[in-house]
Every structure is written in structure tokens, then in C-alpha cells.
Amino acid sequence: MLVEPYLPMSRIAVAAVLLSLAPLMAVPVQAADAPVAAPVAVDPFEDIYAAIQESADMERQLDQLSTTIAQQIASADTSLAIAEARYPGLSQALVTGFRPVLSGYSARVREAFRPRMVAVFRAQLNAGEAHDVAAFYRSPMGKRLLGGVIESFDAKATITSALRDKEVSADAVRADTDAAVRGALAQFTQDDFAALGALAQRQPGLLKLGAIGEALGPIRAEMENQPLTEAEQQALSDAIVTSLDKHIAAATRKPAEK
């Protein structure tokens, strides 16, 4: 019963949605007759997407995925494994170097696919159910679930699929998300499950989250396989070269300084 936060995993993405609310100020007496702007209506389906972004620690998820990608780079082939052994920490240095590039790439891809993800919410839920789902993700229980998913998510199947097959499969994405959800739910007690069940009885829209997750699977796989633009590819290449040079230079200086 969860639609987990999602980043294009094999690209280590982050695109947090930041929402801010300005506090209401007291209106001066002389401005009493001024026209008051009508409140902006919130699309309840867009609000589900916003609630997930608000409640999930995307930076933490990016940290988790960075560790996985560094491990995958180090073991991708013999030459990389040799380089990692000779210059320990090289893979992590590479990931740290190109993290901003992939973060920008992810922001672009996530925005391009956001309407399609929201369309899935719109097709599966009515407006009242959408309101309940958004409220759930902003609740302590919803935030706890999202936090558990992020802590359990390593994207190993997705990244392995990208390195091995050059294209991420929907099965790989599903394997990673299923494992993360299982990891999150493993931290829940029987009382927690009873509370979730009681909430779902009162708000039946929550029971549709499984079907929504299934419908989002192919979209997530498409997100993973979006190519970088020429500018992004060049920035990535430059970041890798710079990171390699810096890390190797620092590693070779240390023995000479002893």
C-alpha cells in the first residue's frame, strides 16, 4: 500500500519539489476595501505528487544510490577494479564529481514525465480519494513509510540492468521497488499494520495504491532509459576527467609527502 518516491535510479537523480507557504499578514485598516485575490485551487492529483516529494528525503535517497553506483563502477570490469585497488575511493570520487550533472539530468526527466505520472493518479482515483492519499503521505505514518523505502532502496537491479543490457528493464525497476517496500514494511509492528488497515477501511482510495504502483512501473522504466542531451553528455565527460585527475593526483602526492 505505497507509491514510493522515485528518481531515475541508474542516473542517480534528485529533483526535490520545494513548496513554501507565506504567512498571512494583518491587513491595514486603510486597505480593507482592496479586492482580495481568490484562493488558487489545488489539483488533488497534482497534490499527491507534491506530497510525496515533500515527505520524502530525496537527498538521503541520492546518498544511498550514490553508494550503490560507486560499488557498481568499481566492479564493472577488470580495468576499473584494478584502478579502484590502486587508487582506493576512485569510484566514489567519480560519483561525487558527476552527481550534479546527473541531478540536473534527473530534474529534466522528472519534469517531463510528471504529467504522465499524475495522469495515472487521475485515472485510478476520484478527487476525494486523491485528497486522502495526499493527506496520507503527509501524515506521520506516510512519512515513516516513505522514509523506510528510502533507507531500503539501493537500486542494484536497476543499475545492474543498465550496465549489463544497456537498457533498464521494467522487471529490474519492479524488483528494486518491491524490495524497498518490503524493507520498509518489515520495520512495522502488528499494531502498525492494524492502524494501516483501519485507515484503509475509512479511506478506500489507499487500497488502490498497489494498482497505481503497477501502472507507474513502465513509466519508471522509460524514465531510466531517457538519453542524456549532448550538453549533459559533455558535462558528464568533463566531470569524470576532472574527478579522475584530482583523485589520482591526490593519491600519488601522499606517498611522496611521507
* Per-residue pLDDT tens digits for 246-257: 988 888 876 555
13 is a domain residue:
no
Q: Which residue stretches of 125-208 are H helix?
A: 127-138, 140-152, 156-165, 170-185, 190-202
240: how many CB neighbours lie within 10 A of its CB? 16
For residue range 215-227, list pLDDT tens digits in order. Answer: 998 998 899 888 8
Chain centre to alpha carbon of residue 203: 26
Domain count, the chain: 1
Structural element, H or E, at residue 112: helix 90-124
Per-residue pLDDT tens digits for 102-141: 778 878 888 899 999 999 999 999 999 999 999 999 999 8
* Residue 101 domain-assigned (yes or no): yes
Cell numbers linked to 179:
524490495
In a domain, 66, yes or no: yes
* Beta-carbon count within 10 A of 188 CB: 16
96-101 mean pLDDT:
84
- The answer to whether position 241 is within a domain reads yes
Which of 16-20, 48-52, 118-122, 146-150 is predicted with the least confidence, judged by mean pLDDT? Answer: 16-20
Residue 3 lies in a domain: no
Residue 223 lies in a domain: yes
Quote the mean pLDDT of the chain: 78
The answer to whether residue 175 is domain-embedded is yes
**Inside any domain, residue 253:** yes
pTM to 2 decimals? 0.74
Cα angle value 236/106/98 (rounded, 5°):
25
